[in-house]
Amino acid sequence: MSGPPAIEVTDAEGADGGVVLRGILAFNEAAVGPSGRRPLSVLVRDPETGAVLGGLTGRTDKGWLFIELFHLPEALRGGGLGAALLARAEAEARARGCVGAWLDSYSFQAPAFYRRQGYTEFGHVPDNPPGHTRHFFRKVFAPG
């Protein structure tokens, strides 16, 4: 390399971002050992078409479940389906050896739902987005 490295700002995703991910994963593994990082999805499908209607996605990593995305259409909310999806994700995380789960939720999304499911807030960012709060929740699984 001749001269200093170039710096680029972009909104493109893909292979270049993979370089960053692989780099941080290798760095972390050198510090704490293998992460056991595995994707996890719990999906709701239309029984007639098989189309995905909603669900949750995330990953297990370093002994914790991280729930990245969770969405159910309005028509499927309020009947216990969300709680059932969360319970299934937690059960799979336990089967993978996880000790707990964590996630974030905006104030206009579902913080009350997560509290009802036994999650406790461990931090928040006010005015993110402006006029709202981003809440961070965790749940430590009971032994056994």
- Residues 116-133: tens digit of each pLDDT: 999 999 999 999 999 999
Burial zone of 19 (CB within 10 Å; 0-12 exposed, 13-18 middle, 19+ buried) = exposed
Position 49 pLDDT exceeds 80: yes
Q: How many CB atoms lie within 10 A of CB 39?
A: 10
Tokens 């170039």 found at = 6
pLDDT at 53: 97
The CATH classification number of 15-140 equals: 3.40.630.30
pLDDT value at position 20?
85
Q: Domain-by-domain residue ranges, the chain?
A: 15-140
Place of tokens 């430590």: 140
pTM for the full predicted model = 0.88
Mean pLDDT of 65-79: 96
